[in-house]
Homo-oligomer: A and B are copies of this chain.
Amino acid sequence: MAKGTAQDIRRRNRFDVLRSVFAASAPASRQEIAVTTGLSFATVANLVAELLEAGVLLEVGHDDSKGGRPRARLAVNAARGALLGIDVAETSVQIELFDLALTVKRAVRRELSVVDVSPDQVVDAIVTGIEELIGADGELPHLLGAGVSVPGLVEREGGVSVFSPYWSWRDVPLRALLAERLVVPLYLDNPLKAGTVAEMWFGAGREADDLVVATLRAGVGVGIAVGGSLYRGATNSAGEWGHTCLERGGRTCRCGRRGCVEAYVSTRGIARTVRELDPRSSLLDADEEVVLANVARARAEGDPVAVEAVARTARYLGMAAADLLNLFNPQTLVLGGLVAEHLGERLLSQTREAIAEHALPATVQALTLQLSTVPGNPVTRGAATFALEGFLDDRETFGTVAAGRRAARTARALAP
């Protein structure tokens, strides 16, 4: 039987305090954090004292107050250290260097060969990319951690890419391979989980605790947050929506089965839809990302093939999402990834219509459907957030029990 230990709650509350500081449009007071998180003032004061002591938060000024003790304003201490977010996608590796306030400081991108990428090639791309990033000027940032997203099924604790269908990787110990060449705490997961954790810290997850985040790119899948926590399932493979069946006996999918959602709403699926509409369409290209960009541009110009391709994609997406939504009944469904970025509001509104047609009324009424509001690439940001969470979980970050007691005393001294 699972249970919530006092430690789990403390961790959760610490995350909530920091999330509320990130979410605030200006430096926040302890009182404001208490209101946003729903935690007691004493708990907030205690956690803030800990975060100040660990250098994660800074006091950045005080409010005037009429007679009472001035209220300190708090912000994330951006200079405390740096985090890396690494998005190993099907055809490229994107690496971003963040400060602790999760502002992108520098970015680099390495293209991968189109077929049969080996683990060594990916490790090389990551290591040389980081070298380029960090060597970009003389100053060496203090790296607190690096999050790495790879497509497919990931065994997080062991840092293993269990199965990556795009390259047919099986049981690749990616974290161990990287650890041979990088001296920094490494956190491995997949783009669905990374995109969802980014949404939880920096997007729609600020408002909703039950959340489904669809990532639509070369691969398609969802991340699921339940009660404000990422839901992973028994083997961290929850969210494998891309290979649920949309059309029995339909299009062949790269997984070998037929009619999978991914075969319709991924970059490849959209290219295929265009080809079905007009095999000689000028929108077509060997690079499916180029097809997607062409469709988005031509759609805006009223090109009939592009108009129909977007309409069909939205219909496929809405039918598939309706079943997903009936099952999860989330407060919010977020559409993210390259497909959502390119097709934007048009895809959103037509998908909304298709969902309304196919999902149960109660599901639809409760639902907020929206595009991702995470700034930049949610996958690099989410990967960096895994590193941030790891840093916050690290016992060394918050010192010993004695330090905790000290913090508690400080908090009591500060309580109004």
Contacts and interface: CB of A to CB of B under 8 A. Distances in A.
Interface of A: 1-4, 6, 8-9, 12-13, 16, 19-20, 36-39, 153, 162-163, 206, 209-210, 222, 226-229, 231-241, 243-248, 250, 257, 319, 323-324, 326-331, 358, 360-363, 365-367
Contact of A330 (B36, B38, B233): B233
13 contacts: A1-B19, A1-B36, A2-B209, A2-B228, A4-B4, A226-B231, A232-B329, A235-B329, A235-B365, A237-B366, A238-B328, A245-B323, A246-B248
Contact of A360 (B240, B360, B361): B240
A37 B360 contact: no
Contact of A16 (B1, B162, B248, B324): B1
Contacts of A234: 210, 329-331, 366-367
A243 B325 CA distance: 11
Contact of A243 (B19, B163, B360): B360
A257 B2 contact: no
B328 A3 contact: no
Q: How many copies does the complex hold?
A: 2
A327 B329 contact: no
Nearest to A236: B329
A44 to B, nearest CB: 11
A39 to B, nearest CB: 7
A233 B13 contact: no
Contacts of A233: 210, 328-330, 366
Residue from A236, A257, A363 whose CB has the most chain B CB atoms within 10 Å: A363
Contacts of A37: 1, 3
A8 B8 CA distance: 13
A259 B226 CA distance: 29
Contacts of A39: 3
Contacts of A327: 222, 238-241, 244, 324, 327
Contacts of A222: 327
A240 B162 contact: no
Contact of A9 (B9, B239, B363, B367): B9
A165 to B, nearest CB: 9
Most chain B Cβ neighbours within 10 Å, of A209, A231, A326? A326
B240 A329 contact: yes
Contacts of A329: 232-240
Nearest to A211: B234
Instruction: Among A9, A236, A247, A362, find the residue whose CB has the most chain B CB atoms closer than 10 A.
Output: A362
A212 to B, nearest CB: 10
Contacts of A228: 1-3
Contacts of A4: 4, 8-9, 12
Contacts of A1: 16, 19-20, 36-38, 206, 209, 228
Nearest to A8: B4
Given A240-B363, A244-B327, 4 more contacts: A232-B329, A234-B329, A241-B326, A244-B323
A206 B16 CA distance: 31
